Amino acid sequence: MNLVIIGGGEIGLQIATALHRTHGITVVDRDEERASSFEMLDVRFQRGNGADPDDLKEAGTDEADAFIACTANDDVNVLACLAAKGLGAKRALAFVSRQRYLDAFSHKGAMTRLGLAIDRVLWPQRTLADQIADIVRVPRALDSASFARGRIQMREYRLESGDPFLGETLADADVPASTLLVGSIRDDDFVVPSGATVLRPGDKVVFLGTHESIRAVERRFAPRKRRMRVTIIGGGNVGFMVAERLQDEHARVAIVEGDEARCAKLAQLLPNVLVLRGDGTDLELMEQERIDDSDVVVAVTNHDGKNLLASLLAKQLGVPKVITRVGRTRNRRLFERVGIDAPLTPRAAALQDVLNWLKLDRVDHLASIEDRAEVMEVVYPMEAQVGRVRDLGAPKDSLIGAILRKDKVLIPSGETTIQHGDHLYIVTTPDNVPAVEAWLDRHRRSGA
């Protein structure tokens, strides 16, 4: 595949890093100094303006199988994609940071009605806000996701002294029916567990199960006792969207924002949310407003340093769960090491969206687990031989965590039979996609 990327910032670098070994990539950016970031990759870097048709022609946009505009400027991204489509690029994707562009290029949007089309408009901040709201809703959970229209659920917890499943093998553990413990993280290592795995305090564990069975897991870790209190540091787009999603769910939500005009707008748009003008890194303010009574603090300003300081203050005050926006992906591990419960970056979800949109493999990348593992969805081939899980095995270093058969969800055991057309939800590491595809090919050939 020939791919043209407009924007050599962190998102462009992530996409190029993921794809440069097997695809032809040209990166266009106005800043010549960014070329050094791509020196170790097999890509062509071109200094130029992504909105200039001549620069786009020089980058080979007319022969591009896919075109991605991911600069920090929405207008440039949109204009570049429209120009690319006009020049002959087969598909175009624009990164944006405002709702109005999503609306304009929707099925019946203003731009679409004028005949101006972009194949995909992606707003990573909205995906991040949805992810944060999902995690906030589940007490103690470090991550939360749903698949198959909510019928399959994922939860991640950090084990503490007194928690269930500690000190015994998984074979002997009383895991709720229709639930699988599909992964554990100890230090920096993600492990696909076996029946002999013994869990320890500090381990982070990932469960996959049906909607009903995951509720049983939630009750084991944190039975609900009262109305949840949530404090959001930062009233920008992400903070607003998180509050909007939570304000009608019987949670007491407060936003701390420093800009007076923004506070007035938030108060108008969010009538059920308490808006406080101030600095989320001001300890005196935090103590005065009794932030320590919060069940969750969410730090989502546009500045990593401010988010980190606000999060550390919240942890020092004894807040049980702190969720923190991390702008730079390389800072994520640092946030983890200093005790932040759930450091999240919009770029991780964005990369998964891009890979799925490009359709470079036969795998749908559904969710990342702390950048160490992911949940993938594959369809078991019609040509393959059917059989039990224990006989067919699983892809290397992977676990089949759930099966969707038509409208029925199965949480498999070794005796479960895999049938043609089953949607398999596989937990594995990001670099293991070739092994998953090889496993599918092997069974496809065996049944041919």
Asked if residue 75 and residue 11 are part of one domain, the reply reads yes
Asked if residue 322 and residue 381 are part of one domain, the reply reads no
Asked if residue 313 and residue 257 are part of one domain, the reply reads yes
Asked if residue 187 and residue 87 are part of one domain, the reply reads no
Please give the share of the chain, as a percent, with pLDDT higher than 70: 99
Neighbouring residues of 426: CB distance < 8 A, sequence distance ≥ 6: 375, 376, 377, 378, 394, 395, 398, 399, 400, 401, 436
Asked if residue 372 and residue 336 are part of one domain, the reply reads no
* Confidence grade of residue 448 (pLDDT, cut at 50, 70, 90): low
What value does the mean pLDDT of the chain take?
Answer: 91
Asked if residue 212 and residue 190 are part of one domain, the reply reads yes
Does residue 131 form part of some domain?
no
185-200 pLDDT, tens digit each: 988 889 988 889 999 9
Q: Which of these three, 221, 243, 277, is where a domain ends?
A: 221
Q: Which of these three, 94, 122, 150, is where a domain ends?
A: 122
Is the CA virtual torsion 165, 170, 171, 176 positive or negative? positive
Does residue 334 form part of some domain?
yes
Asked if residue 254 and residue 282 are part of one domain, the reply reads yes
Give the residue-averaged pLDDT of 439-446: 86
Does residue 45 form part of some domain?
yes
Asked if residue 151 and residue 55 are part of one domain, the reply reads no
Does residue 99 form part of some domain?
yes
Neighbouring residues of 117: CB distance < 8 A, sequence distance ≥ 6: 85, 105, 111
Neighbouring residues of 431: CB distance < 8 A, sequence distance ≥ 6: none
What is the enclosing helix (H) or strand (E) of 366?
strand 364-369
Asked if residue 288 and residue 378 are part of one domain, the reply reads no
Nearest to 364 by CA among 31, 372, 219, 374: 374
298-316 pLDDT, tens digit each: 999 999 999 999 999 999 9
What is the number of domains present in the chain? 4
* Confidence grade of residue 117 (pLDDT, cut at 50, 70, 90): confident
Q: Do residues 237 and 97 touch, judged by C-beta distance below 8 A?
A: yes
Strand partners for 43: none
Helices (H), 234-380: 237-246, 260-269, 283-288, 304-316, 332-337, 346-358
Give the residue-averaged pLDDT of 102-113: 86
Does residue 307 form part of some domain?
yes
Six token digits for residue 178? 């229709």
Task: Residue 307: give its domain's CATH number.
Answer: 3.40.50.720
Asked if residue 35 and residue 11 are part of one domain, the reply reads yes
324-369 pLDDT, tens digit each: 999 887 888 889 888 899 999 887 778 888 988 998 877 888 888 8
Asked if residue 55 and residue 95 are part of one domain, the reply reads yes
Query: At how many degrees (to 10) do helices 346-358 and 10-19 cross?
Result: 40
Six token digits for residue 186? 């100890």
Q: Looking up tokens 């005050």, which residue turns up?
A: 317
Asked if residue 205 and residue 116 are part of one domain, the reply reads no
pLDDT on residue 87: 95
Q: Is the pLDDT of residue 443 over 60?
A: yes
Does residue 322 form part of some domain?
yes
Range of the domain at 147: 141-221
Q: How far is CA 377 from CA 76, 142, 196, 337, 429, in A?
A: 34, 22, 26, 31, 13
Task: Residue 367: give its domain's CATH number.
Answer: 3.30.70.1450
Does residue 40 form part of some domain?
yes
Which pTM was predicted?
Answer: 0.86
132-149 pLDDT, tens digit each: 999 999 999 999 999 999
Six token digits for residue 63? 């022969």
Q: Do residues 247 and 226 touch, judged by C-beta distance below 8 A?
A: no
Does residue 75 form part of some domain?
yes
Give the residue-averaged pLDDT of 156-166: 92
